[in-house]
Structure 1
Amino acid sequence: MKQQRPLEGRVAVVTGAARGLGEGIARHLARRGARLALVGLEEEELAAVAQSLPTTAKHWAVDVTDHEAMRRVADEVRHSLGTPSVVVANAGIAEGGPFAESDPALWRRVIEVNLIGSAITLRAFLPSLTATHGYYLQIASLASMGAAPMMSAYCASKAGVESFVHAMRAEQAPRGVAVGIAYLNWMDTDMIRDADEHAVLRELRAHMPAPARKIYPVDTVAARLATAVEQRSSAVYFPAWLRTVQVARAALPALVTRFARGTLTRSPFTATGPLGAGGRAAAERGSI
């Protein structure tokens, strides 16, 4: 029975859990028997998610870029729910537009939430994961493998978390902590819906190959990630064809540059500002 439900009774932490993919992952982990610690910025939304889950769940409204606050949360999670054996670093935000016109504070905030926030999350919960020989899953993106124009902060942050994960996988393996990364494409979240309202990102997606333009339901992606958690996967790709991008990634910069020269000079593009409700909440927390 324990082999059939490896997450039964275990404590799982999910950041960015107030909505979108984070909420979806929390729901699927709960259905598989895990107790949930939900972390994010939006108190009311987190409380609503926690109350709706079929297992024990508690929530903490905290900024993942605040090291001391995350350390306190890690202590509180351990004392109130038990020692976590799963941490999913999902919190992330995005903005788009030309780098030269971007808001420096917002550009920096994207890096801080997506990259620094992930590192702070692991640092806070690493003692627990070491004690349980647990599993850390980093949510990344196709942007980790092939940078796109007009998304410089997001791409830089996701490339950064990929390198961070590779370093941590090797560093933590002797301690029995498994470290995984999820390479994901477009999903039906408020961040992606918001992106399509802006010409710069709508144009970017429109010129991607047909398979790369497809938007996938959050629930489908979340279910796949819950399985990856159960299997302690070192890498998960959704959709599955993203795995083939790894083989061709050395050629991507030249291809992207050729695309940019042929399309991005046709229209004037402006900065989008933070995308989605979660992005706006993170921007406001960062006094942007």
Structure 2
Amino acid sequence: MTQVVAITGAAGGIGARLMQRFTEAGCTVAGLDLPGACPPGDDRFLACDITDEEQVKEAFDRLAARHGRLDVLVNNAGISAIGGLLDHDVATYRRVLEVNYVGSLICTRAALPALTASRGRIVVLSSVAGFAPVLGRPAYVAAKHAVTGLFTALRPELAPRGISVTMVHPTFVTGGMTEVPRAAGVSRPVTGSEVTSDQVAREIVRAVSGGRDLLLVGRTARLAWWANRISPRGYLRLMVRRLRGNTP
């Protein structure tokens, strides 16, 4: 039976590649994104704001009516905020948390009955910033830590329903991601080799096919994962030195 995959943030860089790669893998895809972002005339898309619980419920009701099942939910939608503690107001911190964390929570709750019926899988797009500190992005780091913590806690709760969770932690992605406006003079620091949106999408499709619970995308992500576990203080010193030296 053809698997049905729902992807949030489906009109963005990684989201569009996920739509393509899951389709090529033989899946039926449904993309969720804001009304103004959905490609006109593409009936694969369901327009909704993932931070609005009622809109999300209606979108998943339409998905169920159209496809009759859901096998994989990819919580991909997210926004970033580049800058230090005082470069953004508290409302920005709330917005970044709302999209990255609350949006994933709302979508997961709406998809739960269908995923329980199919004994499906939830894929969560986190980041290196979801398991380790990353300089110059406190709002984003906090939101990604929150979503990582949520689904790490949910994994054993969902297992009796037959639902699996794949946590995805990419390193820096070429071109960055959607972000709130930066303060004047603030740039985007990166370190190590960046990965492309397509590389992230291809590896996610393989991870879902292989039933993997953890996916580290890119050499920098793998090094950061182990360095932060072996020596958190050493990782922090290295990360700060490298990011401060690689600010464009």
| Residue in 1 that maps onto 2:30 | 37
Could you tell me whether the CA contact under 8 Å between 1:195 and 1:201 is conserved in 2? no
Distance of 1:238 and 1:261 partners within structure 2: 22
For the residue of structure 2 that corresponds to 1:102, the secondary structure is coil
Distance of 1:257 and 1:16 partners within structure 2: 34
| Residue in 2 that maps onto 1:46 | 38
Matches within 5 A, 1:186-205: 186-189=172-175, 191=177, 200-202=186-188, 204-205=189-190
| Residue in 2 that maps onto 1:216 | 195
1:117-170 Cα offsets, whole Å, 9 max, x none, are: 111111110111000000100001011121123201100111111111111111
2:23 maps to a residue whose letter is: A
Distance of 1:227 and 1:30 partners within structure 2: 13
Distance of 1:152 and 1:90 partners within structure 2: 20
**Residue 30 of structure 1: CA displacement?**
0.6
**Residue 106 of structure 1: CA displacement?**
1.5
| Residue in 2 that maps onto 1:233 | 212
Instruction: Tell me: CA distance 1:105–1:237, structure 2 relative to 1, closer, same or farther (3 Å).
Output: same
More helix, by proportion: 1
Q: Does 1:67 align with 2:47?
A: no
Distance of 2:154 and 2:60 partners within structure 1: 19
Instruction: Tell me: CA distance 1:100–1:32, structure 2 relative to 1, closer, same or farther (3 Å).
Output: same
1:74 maps to a residue whose letter is: F
Q: Does 1:124 align with 2:106?
A: no
1:25-51 Cα offsets, whole Å, 9 max, x none, are: 1110011111111001144x4235x84
2:56 maps to a residue whose letter is: M
For the residue of structure 2 that corresponds to 1:46, the secondary structure is coil
For the residue of structure 2 that corresponds to 1:137, the secondary structure is strand
For the residue of structure 2 that corresponds to 1:47, the secondary structure is coil
Could you tell me whether the CA contact under 8 Å between 2:11 and 2:38 is conserved in 1? yes
**Residue 93 of structure 1: CA displacement?**
0.1
Could you tell me whether the CA contact under 8 Å between 1:150 and 1:200 is conserved in 2? no
**Residue 95 of structure 1: CA displacement?**
0.9
**Residue 257 of structure 1: CA displacement?**
5.7
Could you tell me whether the CA contact under 8 Å between 2:228 and 2:235 is conserved in 1? no
**Residue 259 of structure 1: CA displacement?**
6.2
Question: Which consecutive aligned stretches of 4+ in structure 1 deviate over 2 angstroms post-superposition?
Answer: 45-48, 188-202, 240-248, 250-264
Could you tell me whether the CA contact under 8 Å between 1:40 and 1:64 is conserved in 2? yes
| Residue in 2 that maps onto 1:26 | 19
Q: Kindly report the root-mean-square deviation, in angstroms, between the aligned alpha carbons of the 2 structures.
A: 3.0
TM-score normalised per structure 2 = 0.87
Instruction: Tell me: CA distance 1:102–1:223, structure 2 relative to 1, closer, same or farther (3 Å).
Output: same
Could you tell me whether the CA contact under 8 Å between 2:224 and 2:235 is conserved in 1? no
Could you tell me whether the CA contact under 8 Å between 1:169 and 1:180 is conserved in 2? no
Could you tell me whether the CA contact under 8 Å between 1:110 and 1:157 is conserved in 2? yes
For the residue of structure 2 that corresponds to 1:18, the secondary structure is coil
**Residue 72 of structure 1: CA displacement?**
1.4
Question: For structure 2, which runs of at least 5 residues remain unmatched after alignment?
Answer: none
**Residue 62 of structure 1: CA displacement?**
1.0
| Residue in 2 that maps onto 1:91 | 77
2:11 maps to a residue whose letter is: A
Distance of 1:263 and 1:228 partners within structure 2: 29
From 145, 153, 162, the equivalent of 1:159 is 145
Distance of 2:239 and 2:206 partners within structure 1: 36
> Which of 1 and 2 has greater Rg?
1
Distance of 2:202 and 2:242 partners within structure 1: 38
Instruction: Tell me: CA distance 1:201–1:193, structure 2 relative to 1, closer, same or farther (3 Å).
Output: same
| Residue in 2 that maps onto 1:256 | 236
1:46 maps to a residue whose letter is: C
Is 23-32 or 247-256 further displaced after alignment? 247-256
From 212, 215, 224, the equivalent of 1:245 is 224
Q: Does 1:107 align with 2:124?
A: no
